[in-house]
Structure 1
Amino acid sequence: MAVRLAAILLLLHLTRFHAMAAAAGERRAGTIVWQQHRRQVLLQEKATLLALKRSLTLPSPSALADWNESNGDVCGLTGVACDWRRQHVIGLSLGDKNISGPVPPVIGNLTRLKSLDMSRNFLAGQIPAELSNLRGLEVLDLGHNQLSGGIPPSLSELANMYYLSLKDNQLSGPIPAVLFKNCTSLGLVDFGNNDLSGEIPLEASENILVLNLYSNMLTGKLPWWLANCTYLYLLDVEDNSLTDELPSGIIAGKRQLKYLHLSNNYRFSSHDGNTNLEPFFAAVSNCSQILGIEAGAVGMGAEWDSPGFHLRLAKLEQLSLSNNALRGMIPACIGNATSLGELDLSSNALSRSILSGIGTGLVNLYLQNNQLSGEIPANRLAECIRLLHLDLSNNSLTGEPRSGTISPQIGLCRELEVLDLSHNLLSGVLPGRLQQFPDRLKHFNLSYNDFVGHVPDTGVFADFTFLSYIGNPRLCGSVVRRNCQRHRPWYQSRKYLVAMFVCAAVLAFVLTILCAVGAWKIRDWLAAMREDMFRGRRSGGSSPVMKYKYPRITYQELIITVCSLADFKALVLPFMVKGSLERCLYAGPPAELSLVHRVNICSDIAEGVAYLHHHSPVKVIHCDLKPSNVLINDDMTVLVSDFGISRLVMSVGGVANPADVDASTANMLCGSIGYIPPEYGYGSNPATMGDVYSFGVLVMEMVTRKKPTDDMFEGGLSLHKWVKSHYHGRADAVVDQAPARMVMDQTPESFVPCA
């Protein structure tokens, strides 16, 4: 009996062992099958990845180098992520790889993909519709590329997607309404900086947290479904063409809203016909977590300092309302924003004084281009120890009550990098404490005020050029290039010298015009003189000899002797000891031309040219008037010479002679470079006004001692443009300093006879 029991137990143990062995074999077989299936799936997805690599244009062969046939670790490839079983590719991160070319459609074969990031590359072309095959996709980022075309409506089939970024591309067309309607999980939508048009879809999920649609061409109004987005964190619709009232109803009660960007939608307006800002700022005040409000250039108006206006935003860090039509005084409740770091109210119509209760945490304060007046609150600004940018330009601000100058307290802003107080009503002496400004100051502008005295040449004052002080005529010193010498006689001042040169140039020009206008008055007198002009003849010749001296001119400005024989023709002029005007003008001391000499030379040349144009029996256009063609004798007698390319206009009888015109230089470019009128270069016929233009250039050359062909005149800059750019308040920079020194060296007794 015992033997039988032992046999039975042994048989049971053997049966159990066999059953366990069979089960273990089945498990091993199942594991092998599962591993083979997983490997087959991974091999398929590896083939897809390799096809994807071949479709991409990579910057170099080393890019994605481990994506090759020999690498069996698919989940270890660069930018590839697999699920926890290492069975499927669920993540592909190829951002910032300098990849170019189109987005390969083959990527749609990675059907288990949940995240696709190909941002910050150079991808071009359209977004492939095959991306809709990635039904499990949750994150799609194709931002910062060069994609074009429209947003495919097929993306609406990605129902699980909660992150969609297509920003900074060249996408166009409308936003597909079905995309916002079907993708109910969307939390972040970023289509900023594209060329999208049309209206924002009227239906969308209430789960949206971030909506970036800035820098597009969207029209219409903000959709009301935004009011249902309880957890809205950021709304940015800047730089579009939206038309709406300020979105008071949409943002009301948004406890999680932190950033509201509406700028550059110029068709927005405030309530009640753009006259009431209270509803908008009341709604904003209920957004207790808001950090930044940008509503510049939206067309909002109204009196900003109305009694019902309140702003209670202790956490607000940025408030930008520039380029609007805000009027009145800056409201005192701005001081309640104790965390405010940037306040930009520039380019409005704000008036009265600057708020003295502004927060001390300011980093940037922009109040330029308003109508603010009164004293700059320097003591309060000095408490802004983090202040970097301070721009109060283009207002009517004044300085300290007694001195009118800048309060030295501003020098306590040790972090300041930009200080612009230009175009105000500041006056007085520059405070010496401003020299203590830190070296980090990069922009310093005090121009167009009424400061007086010496500009220090140390500290911050010496770090900037005279351009920081222009428009302050009573400042002096080496920095502003103006001598501080006092009690100088009026006739030795720079203004007097400049006025003398300008008057000389104007006088010469006026004389030319008067000669032109009065030509008809002396026509009869010229007719009576013609016979005497051509009466003399040289012995042995038959052609007339002409020698003219205008009786109203002290010197012979134009002397031409014509000798014409059968085998000899010549223009005979006397020998001029001093040579040409060009030689005298550019001679060094002591042979430099004085102020009086230059004025007399200009006058003589003008009268000589007037004779050629209006009093000569044979009217002549000189065509090449320049300093080298003006000769000067030892007694400073001035002669206009060199008629090599001149043009005869009238015959002796006063009637146009076609033969003379044809014989002139009709097919030549009349004149020298720098002195030739611009219209001659376009084929215009020579005229007397061309000589007037050349005379004007010659006068400017005498005043500035700069040739019109000087090396400095390039890139579109010419002599007359250079002079014109210095006309208002800076004429002394272009005037030749040689006659100025000669006048200043003279005593009053010696100066009076010259004048």
Structure 2
Amino acid sequence: MMSSHFSFILLCCCICLAFIRLSKAQINLGGRNETDRLALLAFKDQITIDPLKVMSSWNDSHHYCEWEGVTCGLRHPRVTMLNLDSQGLVGSISPHIGNLSFLRLLNLQNNSFHGVIPREIGRLFRLEGISLINNSLVGEIPINISLCYSLTRLFLSGNNFVGKIPMELGSLPKLVSLALENDNLTGEIPPSLGNITTLKNLALSYNNLEGVIPSTLYNLKSLEILSIHANTLSGMFPSSLYNLSTLQVISISANQLTGNIPSETNLHNLQFFLIGGNRFSGHIPSSLFNASKLFRFDISGNQFTGKVPVNLGNLNELTFLALQENSLGSGKSGDFDFITPLTNCSNLETIVLYSNELGGSLPVSVANFSKSLTSLYLSQNQITGNIPKELENLQNLILLDLSTNFFNGSIPIGLGNLRKLQILGLQNNQLSGQVPLFLWNMSQLVELDLSNNILEGSIASALDNQNLQILDLSRNNFTGPIPREIGLSSHLIRLVLRHNSLNGSIPLEVGNLKNLGYLDVSENNLTGEIPGVLSSLSLEYIYMGSNFFQGPLPSSLADLEGLLSLDVSHNNLSGIIPRQLGKLSVLTTLNLSFNNFEGAVPVEGVFRNSSAFSVFGNLKICGGPPNLRLPKCRIQRSKKQDNGLAVKVILGVLIPSLIVGFCLIFLYFRKNPKGKPSSEEGFGDLKRVSYNDLYKATDGFSSTNLIGRGSYGSVYKGILQQDESPVAVKVLNLIERGASKTFMAECEALREVRHRNLLKILTVCSSVDFKGEGFKALVFEFMPNGSLESWLHPSSDGQDVPRSLNLCQRLNIGIDVASGLEYLHNHCERPIAHCDLKSSNILLSDDLTAHVGDFGLAKFLSAETRSTITSNKDESSSIAIRGTIGYIPPEYGAGGEVSTQGDIYSFGICLLEMFTRKRPTDQMFKDGHSLHEFSKLALPHRVMEIIDERLLSEETHNGDINALNRMRECLSSIIRIGIACSVDIMTERMDIKDVLKELHSIKAIYLQV
């Protein structure tokens, strides 16, 4: 018994002794952990903004293991986690963080830390996870991070890091996820990343990485996510990666990757295949669709050709399909064979097929698509036939875009059953008939575009849609008035009714469209006055030209402080031009031409820039900026002042003028007793013919011999008696202001030039006709193939036989024109600026040799310089701005002097017109757009989309890939030259010598010389 008690007492003593020793150990251990506390306080000192007061608990009243965001180990008070996710903290990361030697997780994501990542972070060899996502950190990613050999997760996305990805990261043996997205990293993807065999997630998107994708990534046998989109990576995508069966996500969109997808792939676990916006080519292999788990499939913006595989319908999980902006299909029936199998994809929500070559009719099986389908894009293809009425079965459809195809017939009534439809695009088709009444009243419709069809009838007076924001009915045959009910569509922001046959006045109810920013009612038969209620809207663009509006232009339009463009040209408006328009600081385009405005043209605001506004065709205006050369405005006087002035005019001007006139008549008949025209007109040694000769040569200037009309006269085909070969006779209309001056300018210019690519003048005639009236004509070589314009843009009346020029012929024409300009600019005794180069002034001989003609606006430049010209004070204001709209260089419109660089600009526009077959004045070029910008935006990847389709037919049908690639390269170079010649800044345009040299080089490449 005593023994048992003794044993119990001894055990208690041992326990007490152990407890005392443990307490001492903890006290000693707490002393050693002072390092962690000081490191945390140093971290706190670098925080400058703490909106959620996270740091308020970081004080001595609490053990640091109890501070917010801090976690310590269970067996010892050492910091193992610092988690301050999304706390709004602002500051820098203290280097003392490297003293938290037991740290396993550092999470500072979604804050505003700035500065660099301290190098001391490399001391944390126990660190398993770093997340600094969405901060403002800068500098390079420190190499020292590679010393944290326990890392499994490294997340640095959403910062401002620069420099290269450290190759040393490839030495992290346990790394599973690496995310460096949305930074500013440059250089190549380090091949050393292929050494991290544990890596499952590699995310490097939204950087500036370049070079090729390293083939070493195939070593990553556990890789599940490869996200490297939105960089500038190039070269072939490694074919070995198509056999990496672990891959679930391939996201490589928006790079410059090339090559074909192998016919056999092994991506059975693939869920996301996103390769859009690259340069992949070839056919879509059907093996891709063996990946039954595929969720999103996007190959848009590449160069894929051929048919869409029908086994696409095997993808039961597919929700998103994007094949747009490729060359899929043949434009014939059978291109939509994949549609019926695709209806098996019961989860499909979005189908995007626009900008391909899919032809034939749209199968009625489209009605069997998934009930979850919300978006169907089929625009810019070659679909024919009627719109299937079966589309009404797609009850959940929100967006339906069938635009820019060849649909015909009427709009099916069944579309009215699509109650959830918000966007409907039917523009640019051949739809006819009247618009079904339901379409005006679809309550959920936000955007309705029916433009460029042949629809007719009136705009329904029942139009009532509170949600409608965009309504475009332009280029149809709508008649009747604009309904007053249009004012009920109170959310409308864009209303386009251009180019119809609408009549009546603008209803005052448009004043209810408070959100309206764009209004285009031009090219109709609208009458009445422009309503002042427009000034109460939010309008930025107003186009009302080519109607029959009358009355004054409301000065209240100046209340539209955001107005950018106003066009009321070709109407019957009268009164003064409101000076208040000059106070609109953002107004950049103003067209008041061809109205009946009178009085002074303002000189403030937009009126200071003559290229930004137009007042042509208003005969009663005066004043304005000096470069308009308008008559000065008269000062209003009293009747007494007027009577006194009249007497002074009679005595001081009229009588001396009569005396001088009689003297001139006397001298005239003394020198020309027979009344013949004076020979001192500067024709030099040009041989002349009589009026009678030309009258006989043209069968009395018969209309059957008329081959063209111009600004100052008409051109006839004829045969002179002394020469049986045909000639072209240009007869000047001397009633037209400036015609005589044009005649003299052309004679003077052409008598000094001799070049195979300039139209040769044969003779001139300056005489009187049989009625005794003045007669002037120029006789040229006859060009049997007419003008370049007639080849590019045959007339709509059917008189021009459709003809086409191949690439080599167009290139030769470009070289011919450049040769002619190079001679005018550099090899004449006095350099000459043509000043009116355009496609109608480029004439083609029987062998399609180009000749530049019409020198009526040509100017001799000073001998000292080829870029300026001495002013001519008596120059007619009718030709003050030299050239033709669309071809005029911007400096001429701003009052700049004539130069050879102006011709370069016009040549560039002609070159672009020749290869795109787009007039620079095409209706698509408005609102700041131009043929120059249209072509520039197509470089470098989409040039073939803007080229004249007739130009592509031969090579496309031949199927010669090498020839097609060579053609693509040549066309890209030609378009670049056209763009370089037509830049706005004249000093940046190409020299004509360089143009000629490059065009010859392109021809050699194309012909493989």
> 1:278 maps to what in 2?
262
Instruction: Return the offset for 1:453.
Output: 2.5
Task: Give 2:224's match in structure 1, choosing from 230, 233, 248.
Answer: 233
Instruction: Tell me, yes or no, if structure 1 residue 130 matches structure 2 residue 108.
Output: no
SS at match of 1:260: strand
Task: Give 1:324's match in structure 2, choosing from 302, 308, 327.
Answer: 302
In structure 1, give the amino acid aligned to 2:48.
Answer: T
Deviation readout 1:316-361 (Å, 9 max, x if unpaired):
1111111111111212122222322111110001124222221433
**Alpha carbons 1:360, 1:381 under 8 Å: kept:** no
Instruction: Return the offset for 1:390.
Output: 0.9
Task: Give 1:360's match in structure 2, choosing from 345, 348, 355.
Answer: 345
> 1:380 maps to what in 2?
366
**Alpha carbons 1:347, 1:368 under 8 Å: kept:** yes
Inter-partner Cα distance in structure 1 for 2:78 and 2:874:
86
**Alpha carbons 2:47, 2:91 under 8 Å: kept:** yes
Inter-partner Cα distance in structure 2 for 1:432 and 1:35:
85
Instruction: Return the offset for 1:83.
Output: 1.4
Inter-partner Cα distance in structure 2 for 1:138 and 1:197:
26
In structure 1, give the amino acid aligned to 2:183.
Answer: N
SS at match of 1:409: helix
Task: Give 1:622's match in structure 2, choosing from 631, 639, 648.
Answer: 631
Q: Do the aligned partners of residues 42 and 310 (structure 1) sit closer, same or farther apart at CA in structure 2, a change above 3 Å counting?
A: closer
> 1:335 maps to what in 2?
313
Q: What TM-score do you get using the length of structure 1 for normalisation?
A: 0.61
In structure 2, give the amino acid aligned to 1:200.
Answer: I
Q: Do the aligned partners of residues 444 and 40 (structure 1) sit closer, same or farther apart at CA in structure 2, a change above 3 Å counting?
A: farther
Inter-partner Cα distance in structure 1 for 2:233 and 2:375:
31
**Alpha carbons 2:127, 2:150 under 8 Å: kept:** yes
* Deviating more after overlay: 467-476 vs 130-139: 467-476
> 2:240 maps to what in 1?
249
> 1:370 maps to what in 2?
356
Inter-partner Cα distance in structure 2 for 1:301 and 1:237:
20
SS at match of 1:197: coil
Q: Do the aligned partners of residues 179 and 426 (structure 1) sit closer, same or farther apart at CA in structure 2, a change above 3 Å counting?
A: same
Instruction: Tell me, yes or no, if structure 1 residue 582 matches structure 2 residue 575.
Output: yes
Q: Do the aligned partners of residues 19 and 309 (structure 1) sit closer, same or farther apart at CA in structure 2, a change above 3 Å counting?
A: closer
Inter-partner Cα distance in structure 1 for 2:502 and 2:148:
81
Instruction: Return the offset for 1:462.
Output: 4.3
Task: Give 2:49's match in structure 1, choosing from 37, 41, 58.
Answer: 58
**Alpha carbons 1:206, 1:226 under 8 Å: kept:** no
Inter-partner Cα distance in structure 1 for 2:621 and 2:199:
86
In structure 2, give the amino acid aligned to 1:215.
Answer: Y
Task: Give 2:213's match in structure 1, choosing from 208, 217, 222.
Answer: 222
SS at match of 2:137: strand
In structure 1, give the amino acid aligned to 2:189.
Answer: I
Q: Do the aligned partners of residues 194 and 222 (structure 1) sit closer, same or farther apart at CA in structure 2, a change above 3 Å counting?
A: same
SS at match of 1:65: helix
In structure 2, give the amino acid aligned to 1:409.
Answer: E
Instruction: Tell me, yes or no, if structure 1 residue 315 matches structure 2 residue 293.
Output: yes
Task: Give 1:452's match in structure 2, choosing from 432, 438, 445.
Answer: 432
SS at match of 2:65: helix
SS at match of 1:290: coil
Inter-partner Cα distance in structure 2 for 1:370 and 1:178:
45
Q: Do the aligned partners of residues 726 and 71 (structure 1) sit closer, same or farther apart at CA in structure 2, a change above 3 Å counting?
A: farther
Q: How many positions carry a matched residue from both structures?
A: 523
Instruction: Tell me, yes or no, if structure 1 residue 421 matches structure 2 residue 406.
Output: no
Deviation readout 1:219-276 (Å, 9 max, x if unpaired):
2322233222222110111122223323321341x33211011212213222xxxxxx
> 1:718 maps to what in 2?
none
Inter-partner Cα distance in structure 2 for 1:230 and 1:313:
18
> 1:157 maps to what in 2?
147
Instruction: Tell me, yes or no, if structure 1 residue 178 matches structure 2 residue 156.
Output: no
Inter-partner Cα distance in structure 2 for 1:484 and 1:729:
26
**Alpha carbons 1:245, 1:268 under 8 Å: kept:** yes
Q: Do the aligned partners of residues 116 and 371 (structure 1) sit closer, same or farther apart at CA in structure 2, a change above 3 Å counting?
A: same
Inter-partner Cα distance in structure 1 for 2:618 and 2:158:
69
Deviation readout 1:370-401 (Å, 9 max, x if unpaired):
111112234234332111211111111124xx
Instruction: Return the offset for 1:57.
Output: 2.4
Q: Do the aligned partners of residues 301 and 381 (structure 1) sit closer, same or farther apart at CA in structure 2, a change above 3 Å counting?
A: farther
Instruction: Return the offset for 1:217.
Output: 1.9
Inter-partner Cα distance in structure 2 for 1:607 and 1:76:
84
Deviation readout 1:547-601 (Å, 9 max, x if unpaired):
xxxxxxxxxxxxxxxxxxxxxxxxxxxxxxxxx952899xxxxxxxxxxxx9997
SS at match of 1:444: strand
Q: Do the aligned partners of residues 461 and 23 (structure 1) sit closer, same or farther apart at CA in structure 2, a change above 3 Å counting?
A: same
Inter-partner Cα distance in structure 2 for 1:341 and 1:50:
51
Task: Give 1:187's match in structure 2, choosing from 172, 176, 190.
Answer: 176
**Alpha carbons 1:231, 1:255 under 8 Å: kept:** no
Instruction: Return the offset for 1:210.
Output: 0.5
In structure 1, give the amino acid aligned to 2:89.
Answer: I
Q: Do the aligned partners of residues 88 and 686 (structure 1) sit closer, same or farther apart at CA in structure 2, a change above 3 Å counting?
A: farther
Write the mapping of 1:684-723 to structure 2, written as runs, cut at 5 A. Answer: 689=877
**Alpha carbons 1:447, 1:469 under 8 Å: kept:** yes
> 1:208 maps to what in 2?
199
Deviation readout 1:51-83 (Å, 9 max, x if unpaired):
3222112342633332222223x3332222221
Deviation readout 1:151-202 (Å, 9 max, x if unpaired):
1001111000010011111111111111212x11001001111121222222
Query: Where do 5+ consecutive residues of structure 1 fail to align?
Result: 1-8, 271-276, 506-579, 586-597, 614-619, 630-650, 655-683, 694-723, 731-755
> 2:673 maps to what in 1?
none
Instruction: Return the offset for 1:459.
Output: 5.6
Instruction: Return the offset for 1:119.
Output: 0.7
Inter-partner Cα distance in structure 2 for 1:600 and 1:236:
60
Q: What TM-score do you get using the length of structure 2 for normalisation?
A: 0.47
Inter-partner Cα distance in structure 2 for 1:17 and 1:600:
120
Q: Do the aligned partners of residues 122 and 303 (structure 1) sit closer, same or farther apart at CA in structure 2, a change above 3 Å counting?
A: same
Inter-partner Cα distance in structure 1 for 2:621 and 2:925:
36
SS at match of 2:282: strand
Q: Do the aligned partners of residues 310 and 95 (structure 1) sit closer, same or farther apart at CA in structure 2, a change above 3 Å counting?
A: closer
Q: Do the aligned partners of residues 624 and 315 (structure 1) sit closer, same or farther apart at CA in structure 2, a change above 3 Å counting?
A: farther
**Alpha carbons 1:351, 1:373 under 8 Å: kept:** yes
Q: Do the aligned partners of residues 18 and 686 (structure 1) sit closer, same or farther apart at CA in structure 2, a change above 3 Å counting?
A: farther
Q: Do the aligned partners of residues 108 and 391 (structure 1) sit closer, same or farther apart at CA in structure 2, a change above 3 Å counting?
A: same
* Deviating more after overlay: 54-63 vs 35-44: 35-44
SS at match of 2:56: coil
Q: Do the aligned partners of residues 384 and 725 (structure 1) sit closer, same or farther apart at CA in structure 2, a change above 3 Å counting?
A: farther
**Alpha carbons 1:234, 1:259 under 8 Å: kept:** yes
**Alpha carbons 2:35, 2:99 under 8 Å: kept:** no
In structure 2, give the amino acid aligned to 1:201.
Answer: P
In structure 2, give the amino acid aligned to 1:345.
Answer: L
Instruction: Return the offset for 1:367.
Output: 0.5
SS at match of 1:179: helix
* Deviating more after overlay: 450-459 vs 149-158: 450-459
Inter-partner Cα distance in structure 1 for 2:215 and 2:230:
20
Inter-partner Cα distance in structure 2 for 1:388 and 1:583:
53
SS at match of 2:91: strand
Instruction: Return the offset for 1:118.
Output: 0.5
Instruction: Tell me, yes or no, if structure 1 residue 409 matches structure 2 residue 384.
Output: no
Deviation readout 1:470-490 (Å, 9 max, x if unpaired):
11242442364975569xxxx
Inter-partner Cα distance in structure 2 for 1:584 and 1:264:
51
> 2:379 maps to what in 1?
393
Inter-partner Cα distance in structure 1 for 2:69 and 2:219:
38
> 1:564 maps to what in 2?
none
Instruction: Tell me, yes or no, if structure 1 residue 143 matches structure 2 residue 133.
Output: yes
Task: Give 1:289's match in structure 2, choosing from 256, 261, 269.
Answer: 269
> 1:83 maps to what in 2?
73
Of all paired residues, the percent bearing the same amino acid is 23
SS at match of 2:321: strand
SS at match of 2:289: coil
